[in-house]
């Protein structure tokens, strides 16, 4: 017989107890934490405790469940006893002399039943994308090892800042079962993150961290426990006067490493970025900044490893089972095919913002781990004709920021060459330029200029102005300080340029002091390179691009300075789990629209080299990086197609031609040259390229042999001193094979430059260029380029030509041709629905 249903009122289950800790901000309680427990609301319980003593200057530092992983409970007595056992003294009653991290470590120990050394208190798990990176890399490594157990696989993480690369790399090492991990970088400043992540997370308890600065003797480590050694390329590749490995580093070269991590890869690209970032500084300062940021011997290191066919073991004499490369801007490595798709994990700005949006949709009300990462917005402004006329010249016949902001003089004497016009520009960006104000009255529109729109002003409370050089920085500060510029007197100007501003991080304290908490102050930081890498100033919410930058890596490296999160944990001091986000968005303001949109399009395409349609790559980026363009009358949001039209049609044919003069279009590394040499038909084909015969009969063989001889001598130099004759031979051989390789590259590029002429003459637009060449117009191709279809097809098969780069170059040509004709009112090919690229077809609109 069934039991009758019990309908009597049930007592609600008791809430699980919480452990809490709070601090009081006074001399008597310095370094102390009150550790207690309650089943009630922690804020209410603490307030009741302190109300009788009229104490208001307290802060709740911790509020955690007192439940073990198996469901059992522990008490505050257990917590204090565990702290005392670790040597943390009890001051009085429930007050302990310890840190919040110490209490958190004990809580994790009580929950899990484990014991941790130091303050291994963080127990968060990997985010979805971090787990994906580890899983994909782990699977790839094992797939290579299954084919060849002695192979040394390589994998690239194209991961934007704040991906959590150090923590995730350690998780990969853990999954691989690695016991010996070597982390190498040419930016020694990143060491702090590698050490902190290893020494604070419970997953790495017992792991040993070593570096040149840690002071530990690497020969005395516990060999049963995993060890991580952090070093710089400069240190590892450094030699003594006799050319031998430094004695202190010899042990490194005898260890069989399980994993070698190359942080902040790609070297060549970073060196070029360093040069561009600091080119506005005085020569001695620029050199010091570059050396500080990128290492004293970066130039020499880069020379060793930039050889097209170089492998890691050839310039870094170590043995390892696998290599992991980490970079936020590996454009060169991606574009040159150094890594193929299965060797790359991507986590870009677009991925980050998509994850932020998806998390909010899928888990509304839950703490969003991406919430504090602001969305970027790009606003571009076409300057009035009278200002454009002053500085519209140069290669692209577009507004030249460096010319407009040209200045002379030092310090208080610095002045702009076009001072009156810069004054007009200052008036325009705050909405106070009389001539434009009359136009706005007539049109009924008022575009959102940075310092005039109430929606933008909160993001300009603390901004970064990126100017061409030191003189321009001081000239701007001087101009805004003049009596009539009362609007700008509300902002404190911080000039971080020149030797007087300090080198590297020494330039940061005056900025932090001027900003303070960020709430009561208003600042403008004026720089021409300093503080654009490796620093985080949360309050910077906008950047004004007031100088020319050539590479998208440099442009966005500077732009991402303002994408740092600005949020306050525990804003009211009564809830450690609360976070107030102060910067949901950040802004890039640019006054050279064509150049800005070119950078944006190149950045989008560079992040997605495997995407055959460049418009899709840009579309993906601008879906999370909205672009508003002011054309002199209206401010409108522009889509990917519009960005590419402006970027490409506005570049001039000169820039377009550069795409067909790019070294990225052709491959002249030893492996490719050997494939040509081993194929008689290929040798005959290259022989028919214009000017090839003039290079000599054995040029390819000479390059391969001489580069081999150079490599042999360099390896010998690592072990012993070279004789004077050998040093001269090394220098001569190196010069000769490099110059000959350059000649071969130039001849192949010269052939590639004939392809735009062929495209212009052919009328087949919807077919791939490959099909037009091989099937539709082979005779025309031979006439224009001098090569038969068979010749060209063979060279493509041998990877002499890079088809991914050709797709981009063809796409640029098609869009430029169309946009140029549309500008004059002509439709180049009515009814055209698709573009044929080199070996793929994309939709026209």
Summarised one tens digit per residue, pLDDT across range 73-86 is 888 888 998 898 88
Strand pairing category for 256-257 and 319-320: parallel
Encoded tokens for 11: 């007592």
What per-residue confidence (pLDDT) applies to 715?
76
Q: Give the predicted TM-score (pTM) of the model.
A: 0.66
What per-residue confidence (pLDDT) applies to 731?
76
What per-residue confidence (pLDDT) applies to 515?
93
Whether residue 227 contacts residue 180, with contact meaning beta carbons closer than 8 Å, is answered with yes
Encoded tokens for 766: 């919807």
Strands, E assignment, 39-140: 58-65, 90-92, 95-97
What per-residue confidence (pLDDT) applies to 309?
35
Strand pairing category for 95-97 and 32-38: antiparallel
Whether residue 117 contacts residue 123, with contact meaning beta carbons closer than 8 Å, is answered with no
Closest CA to 392 of 384, 435, 602, 588: 384
Half-sphere exposure of 108 toward its Cβ, with a 13 Å CA cutoff? 20
Encoded tokens for 81: 């006893």
Sign of the dihedral through C-alpha 767, 771, 772, 777: negative
Cα(260)–Cα(185) distance, integer angstroms: 11
Half-sphere exposure of 493 toward its Cβ, with a 13 Å CA cutoff? 18
Residue 495, phi then psi, degrees to nearest 5? -90, 110
Cα(558)–Cα(628) distance, integer angstroms: 20
Sign of the dihedral through C-alpha 291, 292, 293, 297: positive
Query: What's the first-to-final CA gap in the chain, in angstroms?
Result: 75
Closest CA to 491 of 426, 535, 446, 422: 426
Provide the residue count of the chain. 845
Whether residue 244 contacts residue 224, with contact meaning beta carbons closer than 8 Å, is answered with no
Provide the β-strand partners of residue 183. 230, 261
- Residue ranges of alpha helices (H) inside 190-340 are 191-200, 233-237, 250-254, 267-278, 283-294, 298-305, 312-315, 331-335
Helices (H) and strands (E) in the chain, counts: 34, 30
Whether residue 627 contacts residue 637, with contact meaning beta carbons closer than 8 Å, is answered with yes
What per-residue confidence (pLDDT) applies to 555?
86
Low-confidence ranges of the chain (pLDDT < 50): 1-9, 267-268, 297-310, 394-396, 437-444, 650-656, 763-767, 772, 817-845
Closest CA to 157 of 166, 146, 148: 166
Closest CA to 553 of 277, 282, 141, 742: 277
188 contacts: CB under 8 Å, gap ≥ 6: 232, 234, 295
- Residue ranges of alpha helices (H) inside 431-469 are 434-443
3-state secondary structure of 191: helix
CA distances from 129 to 157, 197, 329, 330, 374 (A): 11, 18, 18, 19, 19
What per-residue confidence (pLDDT) applies to 271?
56
Sign of the dihedral through C-alpha 131, 135, 136, 141: positive
**Three-state SS sequence of 696-744:** CCCHHHHHHHHHHHHHHHHHHHHHCCCCHHHHHHHHHHHHHHHHHHHHH
- Residue that has been written with the tokens 């950045």 in this structure: 603
Q: Element (H or E) spanning 428, and its range?
A: helix 419-429
Radius of gyration in angstroms for the set of CA atoms belonging to the chain, rounded to a whole number: 31
């Amino acid at each position: 017989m069934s039991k009758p249903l019990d309908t009597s009122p049930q007592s609600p289950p008791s809430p699980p107890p919480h452990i809490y800790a709070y601090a009081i901000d006074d001399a008597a309680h310095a370094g102390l934490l009150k550790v207690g427990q309650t089943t009630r609301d922690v804020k209410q319980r603490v307030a009741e405790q302190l109300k009788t003593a009229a104490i208001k200057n307290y802060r709740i530092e911790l509020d955690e469940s007192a439940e073990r992983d198996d469901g059992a409970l522990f008490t505050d007595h257990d917590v204090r006893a565990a702290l005392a056992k670790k040597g943390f003294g009890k001051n009085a009653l429930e007050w302990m002399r310890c840190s919040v991290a110490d209490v958190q470590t004990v809580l994790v120990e009580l929950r899990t039943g484990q014991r941790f050394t130091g303050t291994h208190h963080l127990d968060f798990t990997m985010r979805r994308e971090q787990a994906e990176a580890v899983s994909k890399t782990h699977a790839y490594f094992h797939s290579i090892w299954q084919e060849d157990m002695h192979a040394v696989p390589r994998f690239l993480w194209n991961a934007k800042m704040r991906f959590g690369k150090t923590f995730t790399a350690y998780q990969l090492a853990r999954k691989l079962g690695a016991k010996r991990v070597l982390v190498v970088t040419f930016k020694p400043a990143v060491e702090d993150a590698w050490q902190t992540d290893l020494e604070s997370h419970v997953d790495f308890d017992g792991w040993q961290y070593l570096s040149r600065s840690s002071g530990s003797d690497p020969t005395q480590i516990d060999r049963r426990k995993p060890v991580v050694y952090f070093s710089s390329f400069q240190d590892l590749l450094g030699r003594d006067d006799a050319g031998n490995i430094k004695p202190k580093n010899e042990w490194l070269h005898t260890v069989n490493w399980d994993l070698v991590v190359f942080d902040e890869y790609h070297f060549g690209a970073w060196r070029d970025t360093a040069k561009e970032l600091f080119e506005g500084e005085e020569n001695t300062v620029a050199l010091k900044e570059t050396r500080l940021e990128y290492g004293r011997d970066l130039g020499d290191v880069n020379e060793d490893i930039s050889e097209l066919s170089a492998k890691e073991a050839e310039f870094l004499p170590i043995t390892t089972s696998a290599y992991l490369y980490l970079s936020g801007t590996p454009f060169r490595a991606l574009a040159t095919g150094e890594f193929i798709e299965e060797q790359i994990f991507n986590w870009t700005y677009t991925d980050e913002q998509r994850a932020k949006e998806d998390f909010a949709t899928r888990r509304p009300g839950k703490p969003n781990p991406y919430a504090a990462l602001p969305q970027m917005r790009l606003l571009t402004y076409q300057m009035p004709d009278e200002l454009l006329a002053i500085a519209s010249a140069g290669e692209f016949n577009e507004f030249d920021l460096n010319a407009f902001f040209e200045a002379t003089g030092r310090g208080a004497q610095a002045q702009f060459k076009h001072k009156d016009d810069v004054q007009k520009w200052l008036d325009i960006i705050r909405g106070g330029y009389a001539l434009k104000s009359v136009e706005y009255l007539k049109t009924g529109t008022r575009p959102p200029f940075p310092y005039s729109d109430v929606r933008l002003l909160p993001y300009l409370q603390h901004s970064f102005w990126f100017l061409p050089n030191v003189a321009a920085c001081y000239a701007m500060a001087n101009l805004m300080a003049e009596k009539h510029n009362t609007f700008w007197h509300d902002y404190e100007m911080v000039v971080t340029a020149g030797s007087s501003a300090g080198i590297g991080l020494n330039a940061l304290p005056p900025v932090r002091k001027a900003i303070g908490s960020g709430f009561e102050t208003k600042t403008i930081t004026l720089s021409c390179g300093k503080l654009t890498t490796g620093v985080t100033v949360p309050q910077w919410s906008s950047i004004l691009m007031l100088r020319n930058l050539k590479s998208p890596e440099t442009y966005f490296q500077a732009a991402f300075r303002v994408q740092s999160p600005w949020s306050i944990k525990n804003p009211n001091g009564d809830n450690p789990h609360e976070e107030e986000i102060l910067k949901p968005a950040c802004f890039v303001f640019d006054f050279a629209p064509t150049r800005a949109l070119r950078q944006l399009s190149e950045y989008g395409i560079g992040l997605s080299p495997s995407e055959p349609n460049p418009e899709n790559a840009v579309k993906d980026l601008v879906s999370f990086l909205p672009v508003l363009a002011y054309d002199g009358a209206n401010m409108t949001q522009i889509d990917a197609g519009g960005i590419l039209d402006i970027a490409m049609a506005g570049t001039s044919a000169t820039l377009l031609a550069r795409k067909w003069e790019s070294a990225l279009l052709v491959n002249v590394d030893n492996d490719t040259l050997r494939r040509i040499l081993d194929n008689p038909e290929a040798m005959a084909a290259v022989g028919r390229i214009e000017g090839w015969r003039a290079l000599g009969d054995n040029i390819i063989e000479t390059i391969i042999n001489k580069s081999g001889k150079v490599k042999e001598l360099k390896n010998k130099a690592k072990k012993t001193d070279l004789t004077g004759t050998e040093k001269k031979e090394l220098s001569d051989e190196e010069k000769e094979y490099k110059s000959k390789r350059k000649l071969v590259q130039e001849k192949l590029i010269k052939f590639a430059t004939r392809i735009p002429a062929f495209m212009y003459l052919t009328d087949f637009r919807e077919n791939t260029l490959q099909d037009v060449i091989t099937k539709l117009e082979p005779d025309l191709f031979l006439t224009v380029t001098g090569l038969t279809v068979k010749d060209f097809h063979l060279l493509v098969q041998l990877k002499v030509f890079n088809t991914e780069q050709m797709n981009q170059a063809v796409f640029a040509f098609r869009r430029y041709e169309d946009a140029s004709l549309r500008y004059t009112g002509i439709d180049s090919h009515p009814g055209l629905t698709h573009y044929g690229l080199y070996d793929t077809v994309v939709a026209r609109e």
